[in-house]
Structures are given as C-alpha cells and as structure tokens.
C-alpha cells in the first residue's frame, strides 16, 4: 500500500511529509508538488532498499544490503520510520554511515511490563513474561530512505 506521505518541490527542493490528508493539492514555488513513490527510480535496489533488523527494543536500519555512498554529491539524506501512530525522521549528512536506529517495542503493540503493583503478567502458557500486548498495535510499520539523487525507497515490516 502506498500512503503518498512525502512530496517534493521540483523547483526549490523542499520535501514535506503529509501529517494529515485534507484532500487538497500541495503547491510550492507556484506549482504542484511531486508525490514521491517509493522504489520507483531506476537505480541499484541493493544500495537503496533499507535493510531492517530488530535487536531487542531497537530497529536497526542500514541503507541498503550494499552500503549506499555518503559523499557530498550522492548520499542518503534521511531515514524515516512510519507507523499508524508516528513518523520519526533521522537526518544524515555526507560522511556519516547510511544508518539509523529506532525504538521498536510499541510499534507491534508490545510494551515492557514494569512490574508496578507487584502484579505478575503471565503469557498464554502461564509463564511469567516481561512484556504485554496492546489492544491496538500499528497495522503497518514502514521504513523509508531518501537518496538525494535516486529518491525515495521503502521496506515494509
Ligand atoms: Fe543513491
């Protein structure tokens, strides 16, 4: 599913994230902004599609399976985590690694159980566990990366 979240002005280079869709047209510099469609540029997939691994509470993102260049002329400008409940953007600069980290636990409806009130939480096998499930986990978890030359790329979890 494409959520058409990011738009770019082809004149000035502004990029915006749409926080709420009102149905109108986004304009900049006197013209309609371009809706960015992920993974639609003819470029090396292995250098652009975000690779995501989960390590405990963290989602670790690297762009891509072969590291993307991070030179002044060609680099990953930002990496974003998008769920039903939030958008989190990490900005990168040339010379940095094409990587970002996000907190993950709540995205799939999991939350660390802090042990307040001395209650013990049991899982379905009756064993104590240290996390509980929310009733409304995010229906989607997406990771985006934006290359200054090759545009928007995405991985869905
Ligand atoms: Fe690129």
User: Each residue of 42-63: pLDDT tens digit?
Assistant: 999 999 999 999 887 789 999 9
Distance 106 CA to ligand 1 centre (A): 31
β-bridge partners, 82: 87, 142
In this structure, which long-range contacts are made by residues 90-96, counting pairs with CB atoms below 8 Å and at least 24 apart in sequence? 94/70, 95/70, 96/70
User: Each residue of 71-122: pLDDT tens digit?
Assistant: 999 999 999 999 888 899 999 999 999 999 998 766 666 655 555 555 666 6
Distance, in Å, from the CA atom of 6 to the CA atom of 151, rounded to the nearest integer, reads 11
Distance 72 CA to ligand 1 centre (A): 12
Distance, in Å, from the CA atom of 140 to the CA atom of 132, rounded to the nearest integer, reads 19
Residues that place a CB less than 5 A from ion ligand 1: 147, 149-150
Domain 1-37 matching CATH 2.20.28.100: the answer reads: yes
102-108-114-115 Cα dihedral, nearest 10 degrees: -160
The architecture that CATH gives domain 39-156 is Sandwich (2.60)
User: Each residue of 116-150: pLDDT tens digit?
Assistant: 555 666 666 666 666 666 556 677 889 999 999 99
**Domain extents in the chain:** 1-37, 39-156
The answer for residues whose C-beta is within 8 angstroms of residue 124's C-beta and 6 or more apart is none
Query: In the prediction, which pLDDT does 131 show?
Result: 61
Query: In the prediction, which pLDDT does 66 show?
Result: 96
What is the reported pTM?
Answer: 0.81
């Amino acid at each position: 599913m494409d959520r058409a979240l990011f738009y770019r002005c082809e004149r000035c280079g502004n990029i915006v994230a749409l926080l709420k869709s009102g149905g109108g047209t986004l304009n900049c510099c006197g013209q309609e902004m371009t809706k960015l469609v992920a993974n639609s540029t003819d470029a090396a997939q292995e250098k652009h599609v975000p690779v995501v691994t989960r390590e405990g509470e963290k989602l670790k993102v690297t762009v891509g399976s072969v590291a993307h260049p991070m030179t002044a002329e060609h680099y990953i400008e930002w990496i974003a985590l998008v769920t039903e409940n939030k958008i989190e953007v990490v900005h990168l600069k040339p010379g940095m690694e094409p990587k970002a980290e996000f907190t993950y636990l709540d995205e799939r409806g999991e939350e660390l159980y802090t042990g307040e009130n001395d209650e013990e939480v049991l899982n379905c096998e009756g064993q104590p566990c240290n996390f509980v499930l929310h009733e409304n986990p995010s229906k989607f978890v997406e990771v985006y990366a934006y290359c200054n030359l090759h545009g928007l790329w995405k991985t869905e979890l």
